[in-house]
Homo-oligomer: A and B are copies of this chain.
């Protein structure tokens, strides 16, 4: 049992009363880092925060004024469990940018796409069920799947995303073991944490395998519109309606503080999502939904996304240039969008064990182990370049290089002595 506080554990008078699923709650390695890295002298390449300062306050002020003028009483009232109809219609336009066509009936607005994923996991996962996912995969998704007592099976993923051959192998192995696979969880564009994109060639292959094997795909796409040079390949959902549940979010293309995301699902699943949402929180916030609706109606939201693209492209460049300058021998992914680099350390260096040393050198990152459900990933680390300025990114990676180089030297000395 993982406890955030052993003291509290010992004194807890209700220790005998918890449900089995309470034992699955663990402190996320990413979230636990936040307290350490909030000191201003630390360059944080850890948490995945968007650079919301690139969003003009005037734009939001207008969205607020318009919301209250047009729908003020509705905005502060309870709303429907499926989410605001006007916003759902606007989300259709947004999704059309990635080739997805849908109806407002099949959309559910959620309190961030995280809660959409939580509800989907609740709908599908019984204890011991298998979820297939990229390796590495999103830490927040791993936490959810673990909470529902699922087994997370990571499928080999390279610079073109998940390998279809490896997917088939994983499925065959799981089936041979008599296990029940409930869905494939996929972050196809500029994935968190790897930064890689599932290639256009592989997408229909992944879909075909899942169709043949009767495995639902959950396509989680918060970063797709934040491409740097050319649009990301067509969404898997654009190729199939019945077999894909699609998750989207305003957290990265607008701001996460509103907690608004959405789920596009086949009708029967969507019906259950609405009921799950009504049970869990009655309805998503009318107020934040309508603010976003007014933003989409009146602001140059496509221009705003272009602004974010420019900011993150510059920071990706700063990160890759710093890697080239200070750590030229390390393997890193080269993202075409999004927030993340995925760095492979020299053999023998454990990114989790190294983290305290890095924080001492005033730089923070997320250890690779956070992104695997099976405790592996020690040789990797995630660098998030979305929030610090390019200068700070450079400084952070310079500090990181000092720590890694010192570790490498120590390792070499140790290994030579061992000879």
Cβ-defined contact, A272 with B18, below 8 A: yes
Interchain nearest-CB distance for A81 vs B (Å): 6
Cβ-defined contact, A125 with B19, below 8 A: yes
Cβ-defined contact, B4 with A271, below 8 A: yes
Interchain nearest-CB distance for A276 vs B (Å): 6
User: A188 to chain B: which residues have CB within 8 Å?
Assistant: none
Within 8 Å of chain B (Cβ to Cβ): is A344?
A: no
Please tell me which stretch of A72-80, A171-179, A394-402 contacts chain B, meaning at least 4 of its Cβ atoms lie within 8 angstroms of it.
A72-80
Cβ-defined contact, A285 with B282, below 8 A: no
Interchain nearest-CB distance for A282 vs B (Å): 5
Within 8 Å of chain B (Cβ to Cβ): is A169?
A: no
Interface mask (A239-271 → B, CB under 8 Å = 1, otherwise 0): 000110000000100011111000000111101
Within 8 Å of chain B (Cβ to Cβ): is A316?
A: no
User: A18 to chain B: which residues have CB within 8 Å?
Assistant: 123-124, 272
Q: Roughly how many angstroms separate A60 CA and B72 CA in the complex, as a whole number?
A: 10
User: A285 to chain B: which residues have CB within 8 Å?
Assistant: 111, 257-259, 285, 288
User: A13 to chain B: which residues have CB within 8 Å?
Assistant: 214, 242-243, 266
Within 8 Å of chain B (Cβ to Cβ): is A31?
A: yes
* Residue from B50, B60, B268 within 8 A of A12 (CB atoms): B268
Count the copies. Answer: 2
Within 8 Å of chain B (Cβ to Cβ): is A143?
A: yes
User: A258 to chain B: which residues have CB within 8 Å?
Assistant: 76, 285, 287
Q: Given A15-B268, A19-B126, A288-B285, do A31 and B278 touch, yes or no (CB 8 Å)? A: yes
Cβ-defined contact, A124 with B281, below 8 A: no
* Residue from B14, B147, B257, B288 within 8 A of A268 (CB atoms): B14
Cβ-defined contact, B268 with A8, below 8 A: yes
Interface mask (A1-27 → B, CB under 8 Å = 1, otherwise 0): 001110011011111011111100111
Q: Roughly how many angstroms separate A47 CA and B281 CA in the complex, as a whole number?
A: 16
Interface mask (A123-139 → B, CB under 8 Å = 1, otherwise 0): 11110010000000000
Q: Name 7 extra pairs, CB < 8 A, besides A22-B272, A31-B278.
A: A19-B123, A19-B148, A22-B124, A28-B278, A31-B81, A60-B68, A285-B285
Name 22 A/B residue pairs within 8 A (Cβ), A-sorted. A4-B271, A4-B275, A5-B271, A8-B268, A13-B214, A13-B266, A15-B268, A17-B124, A17-B182, A17-B216, A18-B124, A19-B148, A25-B276, A50-B77, A52-B73, A74-B257, A115-B280, A118-B279, A144-B280, A257-B287, A287-B288, A288-B288
